[in-house]
Structure 1
Amino acid sequence: MRTVGVEEELLLVGPETGEPQARSAAVLARASHEDAGQEVFEKELHEQMLEFATHPQSEMSALGAEIVRCRKEAARHAGEIGCAVAALATSPLPVSPSVGAGRRYRWMAEEYGIATHEQLVCGCHVHVSVESDEEGVAVVDRVRPWLAVLAALSANSPFWQGKDTSYNSYRSRVWQRWPSAGPTEVFGSAAQYDRRVADMLATGTILDDGMVYFDARLSRRYPTVEIRVADVCLHASTAVLVATLARGLVETAAREWRAGREPVDHSVSLLRLADWRAARSGLTGELLHPATMRPAPAAEVVRDLVDHTAEALADCGDLYRAREGCAELLRRGNGAQVQRGLLRRTESLRDVVVECVRHTQE
């Protein structure tokens, strides 16, 4: 059974004001002192952010328990210095982000200017194990049409600088400002994938292969495919659902490759449109169906994603979890819908953030 790991980026906020706070160094110092050698928490581009990574897990119940534990530990460390953590992909309240220290971040700030300073966005990256780079690239080629559906499920960033953006995932629109971000063409082989990365590095436009921000890529550090399209999810249960479906997609794609089935060759132009539609509509309207690239109701597309991966999900014991999780998410709404509902009830973005601090640890 393929293992799955999750990286989540959390927003540091004032527990009463809801305003982002540039305190990541202090939180990391406390975490490092207490959890020496575990290296669960890491710094991120901005000092208002905190990242953690789970261990690889085979069982989704274990993965969910670890996400909950890491969120609670992050909240405890932050609370000790007067902060709170919120699983929000963008700050609902106005913020002036602070770029972190270090050569890499200084290079990014100088090279990309305002695009770097505005990247205070929090994502969720899912790592799924693969047997080889060849299998990994075959998976990357075959999951491309379905990634926008994961983005719609996870969408959790409707507000930006104190305003409603009209998007479900504005984080994804900000993320697209990086020159290497977004969907990719079909590579066909690991050798071709490596040549493409080498060509990108040779342009001098990106610093290293860690800045190859494909929607799905081979991990630099682990024997995994890393799926990078999701907003950080407001609820841990949604993060587990996204990870469950991601593993189903990877296993389904690997089986198709071994069976000699060619990947669907949708153009990057169409995939970008699918990404945009998922960011705009989330689960509240239509998505572009991965098979046809034509509009279809979001609920129908989500059901077809589960059907597409049903055999792989069943073999992992995840099919019931996936069906029930998707049905519940469609009933409750994704994080963007929950945030907008909180704003209608409270009429205060500050209160939205304070409530989301609570949701983060549920």
Structure 2
Amino acid sequence: MAIPAGTRLIVQLLGICIACFLSINGVESNPSSEAVFDIFNYGAKTEPKFDNAQAIIKAWKAACESSGPAKVVIPAGDFMAGEVVFSGPCKAHTTTVEIQGHLLANIDPSTYTSGAWIMVQRVDNVVLTGGGIINGEGKYDWKYADGVSPLPVSLIFQEVGNSKAHNLKFVDSMGFHIEVMDSHEIDLFNLTITAPGDSPYTDGVHLTNNINVNVTDSVIATGDDCVSIGHGNQNIVVARITCGPGHGICVGNLGKQADEKDLKGVTISNCTLTGTTNGARIKTYHDSAQITASDIVFQDIQMNNVQNPIMIDQHYNSTTTTAQSKVKISNARFVNIKGSSASAVAVSLNCSSAVPCEGIELADIDLKPAGSTGPLTSACSNAKTVLKGTQSPPGPANCL
């Protein structure tokens, strides 16, 4: 049955009115039915001294309240912004923050109240992507780093579930570049994270108290750990990371605080470390809380001119006391670790006499001296070891 011309006209006018309403309220139509919230529609400006934090937060709040999938767009251009909080829960099934441009942090560290520049908290199904740059402008603030009062982290996920960050470039964070805490089902991949090798406390990715986190397929070059895995983590995968400069890939620090939780299930594989001060490392504080760290695997790791390629250090920060660590390390495996060592002691298992390490496996270790370093040796204390396959340098026997 043919639709009368007058009816067609009314339908067309309704469509125009709806589109106008959405546009006026900062929402752009999208063929995929994803509502798009451009920060320009919320007052953003590319002026160098204009703080865009409120424009970004307003766009997020509007997207978060959307009934369907929603996207916040930070378009091409340079946008300075202070503290930004993406808070939930959200009505939107999935909320994407697409960073196409260049975000630059406010360089005054006193303006950050939550310990983060960008905080994603208490929300599920968030995707951060877009190919843009997140620049912490740390060069202005590293002089304040003292190891006691941490500088703001560029991006924190806190109490977040089923979320991702990918296809982004992080540069020169004030503190850590990315921190994930109290979260679950998080995927971090296809990231580039860079800061000068002498920049203090600029870990690439730090994890605390999470379940099921994957950090994969990324290039990390900073002044501290490329990836550090703290207490309370379960089922963590770190794979295909190119690391260096920096302090290597680390399980720890563990045992610093009295309320820390057990760590179980960490697999670090198919990574390449170049010129780092440490390689595959587990470290715990000397006078620590009583917790466990178990089922840890470093496998298929290429070391290029790395100091301390394989290391368990249970006397970290031991200059002030001789009290032993109470972190019990068990079932830690180092498998197929190859390349070159910049220090003569290529394998160091320095465990606690209070709770000796158990089930430490070294399998197919093939490390050569870098340059004139050498000959290479192993060192061991308070560890029950299992040796398999190639052992170069000769692996340490049980040293309980």
TM over 0.5, shorter chain: no
User: Which has more radius of gyration?
Assistant: 2
TM-score scaled to structure 1, two decimals?
0.22
By relative contact order (CA 8 Å, sep 6+), the higher-ranking structure is: 1
TM-score scaled to structure 2, two decimals?
0.21
Q: Structure 1 or 2: larger helix share?
A: 1
Q: Structure 1 or 2: larger strand share?
A: 2
